[in-house]
Every structure is written in C-alpha cells, then in structure tokens.
Amino acid sequence: MHGYRADTAFDGERVISGGALVLVEGSQILGVEAGSAAAPAGCEVTHLPGTTLLPGLIDTHVHLCGDSSPAALDQFLELSANELDAIITSALQIQLAAGVTSVRDLGDYEWAVVERRRRGVDEEPTIVAAGPPITSEQGHCWSMGGAASGEQELRQAVRDRADRGADIVKIMTSGGAMTVGTDVLACQFTLDELRAVVDEAHAVGLAVTAHAHALPAVEQCVSAGVDGIEHCSCLTATGMEIPPALAERLAAAGTLVCPTLGNAPGTEPPPRVKVILERLGLTLEHRLAHVERLYRAGVTLVSGADSGISPGKPHGTLPEAVIELPACGVPTDVALASTTSLAAKACGIADRTGRLRAGMDADLLIVDGDPLREITALRGVRTVVSRGREVDLTG
C-alpha cells in the first residue's frame, strides 16, 4: 500500500475540503480520506506541500498514429509497421508525462491502435480506440482506411468495427482542414446514411462520435442522435454560427461536445488551417466565444486536444485545451471535470477512472499550485500514477 497526499484535492467532480490522502494498493484506489487523516500504520506516504491532487487527465481526442509533424496525417502509406508502432509508443509516453492517464484515439491507420490496446501494455495509459474513422470516398482522413458509401456499406463498416474490437465508432460528417480536397463547409453523408450508422452502432452496443465542422453537419448529427460531436465548429461561409434552437437541442439531447481547444504555445496553425481561418475571418477569440455560447446553452463539454495531428497539436497538449475553458466562461471546477469525470463518461470508462474513489483505477495526478484558483497550474506536473504505477518523469 502507498499513500498520496496533497494540500488541495479535486475528486473529478468537486473539491475535497482540506486536501486528501489517497491510498493505493496494486492498480486500484483503496480509499480516499479527506483532510489530514492519518495513514495506516506502515503505509509510506508521498506528500508534496503546496500541490493539488486530482484524477489522471483523460484526452478524449487523440491520434496516436500521428507524430505531430507537418505531415502527420499524410505519411501513413510510407510507414512500416515498426515505425508506426514506435510513433504510438512515443505518443503514449509523452501523454503520460503531461499527466494524461487515459486517451481516446479517434482515428488510427489500419487498426494499429486497436491492436495496441488489445496487447494491453500495463505501463501505458488506458486506451479507448475507434479504429479507422468512417469517412466518405476520398473524404476527410480517407488515408486511414475507413472510406465507405451507401447505407449498407456504412452498416457493414460499423459491424466491422465491433468485430475488430473497437470501443467506439468515429465518423467524419464534414470535410476537414487537414485533408486536401475536402470541404469543411460541406456534409460528407446524407442524414439517412448517418442515421444508419447510429442505428447500427447502438444495436451492437457502441457509441458514435462525429467529426463535424460545418453547421449543416452539426444539424445532421443532432437529428441522427449521435452520442458526441468533435469540434462542433458550426462553420458557415461567414464564420461560426449556432442557432440558439440548435444549441438547446444539443443540450437537451445530452450530446457530449469536444471543442478540441488547445495548441502548443508559440505555434502557428498549419498552412491549410490558416487558409481556412483567413478565408472565414476566424480568430481564437471567435472560437472561444463560440464555445462559450455552447456552454451557456447547457451543452456538456469534454476536453480533447486533437493531439498528434500537427506541430501545433502535439501529444501532451491536453492541459492547454483545459486552460482555455475559463476564457469561455467555464468555471474552473467544470473545466477540470471536463478532463476527468466527464471525459471518462465520454470514453465509456466512468466505472474505472476519472474519479478519486475507492475501487477505481489508481490514476492520479499531482501538480504544483492550485488549478482551481489558477487553471495554468495544470502545466506544473509533479507526480503521475497510472493504474498504480508511478511514472518516471525524469526521462
């Protein structure tokens, strides 16, 4: 048994008054004691004064096959299996060093991440994997191998994911900035096709999360009953616009929205993204204001950084995505929940992680300072524990 104590604690939903002592045995949390409760006799305790203890972070939108280079999403066909596996290994190590103990991979190449998750490496973060995203012929991220068309082919694509052991279905309902030849303002499927995907996925017990930039694509997603929306940019030819009635429908449906905020400090958007931003006249301030409208309407936000797709979105960027939420009017405790308890719900692992609670996986993060007072404290990682194993942060 080992104990971890901090002067401030956040259990994934709320503050624990006076800090907490978390007792760990094996891979699980044995108990959580508030305040200055004494540890059991013989239990060694790690206590770092001036720190905050919280559940390990969960990045709900990563691409572990991406090496964060300018060609991250264009080079898959040139990589050997060993090279791809090395990229995944590096990505997972970087995520852990940032305090991320669980990741949801929403687009791999040829099932590489699904197979990696199947191997179950104990020293790595918990992986939730979608496999290749379902997309249209030559659609966004077609090079990952998930293109399909027509209702029957799309239903089969869902069944293939269930058969291969995917944890969730990811579908590209609009074009994307990182794929040449696709249109971020246009839908890639009909409403009936999207409904077929949702219907088939729910029939086999899988949730569906949808990449959607275009406003019509977001409207399709709500009508089709997807479980989550990635980006949810609501792009039109004149910028980001979400009709109040649509925001209310999103909130009422309980659709979980990952706005994929966060960029590595000091980086510029990739050239393709920059062209779109300039064409539509979009700035970071516009994006933050859009996310604030979603939050004010009652939409549940979860945090994911779209990690690995470019130099501006490297692995380990999740804290930056969370740090931007208070600028969207999101209270700090809700921002922290977006990457712990709410993120665990989005990933389908809320019974295992995302909370400081007895019986949960011992996924812990200790940071300098108090992120409840100053959210940037998330950058000050001191200790990371992943399923009971303390991560070596010296490498």
> Could you tell me the CATH number of the domain that includes residue 41?
2.30.40.10
225/86 same-domain check: yes
Collect all residues with Cβ–Cβ distance below 8 Å to 220 and sequence separation of at least 6.
Answer: 173, 187, 189, 191, 194, 212
Cα dihedral across residues 61, 63, 64, 69: positive or negative: negative
Q: How far, in Å, CA of 384 to CA of 363, rounded?
A: 8
Supply the mean pLDDT for the chain: 95
341/372 same-domain check: no
Alpha-helical (H) ranges within the chain are: 81-97, 112-119, 151-164, 191-203, 215-224, 244-253, 271-280, 284-296, 318-323, 332-337, 341-347
**What is the predicted pLDDT for the residue at 366?**
98
Q: How far, in Å, CA of 395 to CA of 64, rounded?
A: 20
Task: Examine residue 386 and state whether it is found in any structural domain, yes or no.
Answer: yes
3-state SS of 331-353 is CHHHHHHCCCHHHHHHHCCCCCC
Task: Examine residue 328 and state whether it is found in any structural domain, yes or no.
Answer: yes
**What is the predicted pLDDT for the residue at 179?**
86
Q: How far, in Å, CA of 180 to CA of 363, rounded?
A: 39
149/194 same-domain check: yes
**What is the predicted pLDDT for the residue at 31?**
96
**What is the predicted pLDDT for the residue at 35?**
86
260/295 same-domain check: yes
Does the pLDDT value for residue 250 go beyond 90?
A: yes
83/101 same-domain check: yes
Domains contained in the chain, number: 2
156/34 same-domain check: no
Domain containing 142 — which CATH number? 3.20.20.140
Task: Examine residue 223 and state whether it is found in any structural domain, yes or no.
Answer: yes
DSSP string, 143-205: GGS-B--SHHHHHHHHHHHHHHT-SSEEEE-B--TTSTT--TTSBSS-HHHHHHHHHHHHHTT
Collect all residues with Cβ–Cβ distance below 8 Å to 79 and sequence separation of at least 6.
Answer: 87, 109
Over range 367-387, report the average pLDDT. Answer: 97
Say if CB 41 and CB 284 are below 8 A apart: no
234/371 same-domain check: no
Q: Which of 159, 152, 151, 154 is nearest to 135 (CA)?
A: 154
Does the pLDDT value for residue 395 go beyond 80?
A: no
Q: How far, in Å, CA of 299 to CA of 297, rounded?
A: 6
241/174 same-domain check: yes
Over range 56-68, report the average pLDDT. Answer: 97
Mind listing the pLDDT tens digit for each residue in 35-50? 888 889 999 999 999 9
61/50 same-domain check: no
Domain containing residue 199: 57-347
Over range 283-303, report the average pLDDT. Answer: 96
Q: How far, in Å, CA of 11 to CA of 13, rounded?
A: 6
Say if CB 389 and CB 371 are below 8 A apart: no
Say if CB 289 and CB 46 are below 8 A apart: no
Task: Examine residue 395 and state whether it is found in any structural domain, yes or no.
Answer: no
229/333 same-domain check: yes
Q: Which of 10, 17, 93 is nearest to 56 (CA)?
A: 10
149/33 same-domain check: no
Q: Grade residue 224 by pLDDT with cuts at 50, 70 and 90.
A: very high
Say if CB 126 and CB 117 are below 8 A apart: no
Strand pairing partners for 127? 103
Task: Examine residue 33 and state whether it is found in any structural domain, yes or no.
Answer: yes
279/307 same-domain check: yes
Pairing of strands 126-129, 169-172: unpaired
